[in-house]
Structure 1
Amino acid sequence: MSLKQRLTDDMKAAMKGGDKDTLGVIRLINAAIKQREVDERVELDDAGVIAVLEKAVKQRKDSISQYEAAARADLAAIERAEMVVIERYLPEKMGEAEVLAAIEAAIAETGATGPADMGKLMGVLKPKLAGQADMGQVSALVKKRFAG
């Protein structure tokens, strides 16, 4: 079952079950997916939907940090609850050892030898690790690998 179909099915279940919080979050996600499809004039596949979901999680994290800085724990809690619902649809995150193994495989594949090859290396890693690893963490691990 595609991710979009799963979201639709879960939205229907939330409507029937009266779960207004989950329903609201899924409707926001579906609206973001539709908006991207209209903007780009394409039908999003699971990878595209995952990109939309990751963006939504990132937005929630940014909002949480801003709300906490403003001492608004009530609003931060709402954002955290929304983030939990969104993360249900993301693939399971890879561990650091798995990410390091993927980096080593990409280095072997590209022949990268130092920091100058980082762009080429990240270009290979990003599609492979999309949705499974935080690309900021991957970038930091690549820098660490080339430094040491």
Structure 2
Amino acid sequence: MEMSSQPAMLSQKIARIGANVLSDFLNIPVRAQSGPPPTVQHGAEVAISGKWKGSVTVCTCDALGPRIAARMFRKEDDSVTGEDLIDALTELTNIIAGNIKAILPGPSQLSLPVPLAVLPGEHRNNVDVTLFDDRQGMLRISLQPAEH
């Protein structure tokens, strides 16, 4: 599949993957929504190598990140530590990237997920999807092709 000719379709598929993972795995309903790029405070990345090369980043905000960690580790929202947040986000990124890998040209492999100290900005070649919950929470999934 040629990336440049299919960004809208790819964007819809990525939005569906993100929404399904959050609702099925963590019971957090979200919907895709366009608008100004939200402020994100936490992120993780998985590199994809093989026939398709690039990366998947998943970033979130302070309104949703602790809730993701709380659901994942069966804790109360206010007892989530910074380490819990990083662990939950890297695991969530791994799950989402594995699902995205399945819709990209293969064969390909995923790297281990790594937390990001510096969060990626918008880039014209990225397929960026933003999902919102019902409480000002936001998750951004970016599929970034490698620069050739």
Larger radius of gyration: 1
TM over 0.5: no
TM-score (norm 1): 0.29
Which has the larger helix fraction? 1
Which has the larger strand fraction? 2
TM-score (norm 2): 0.29
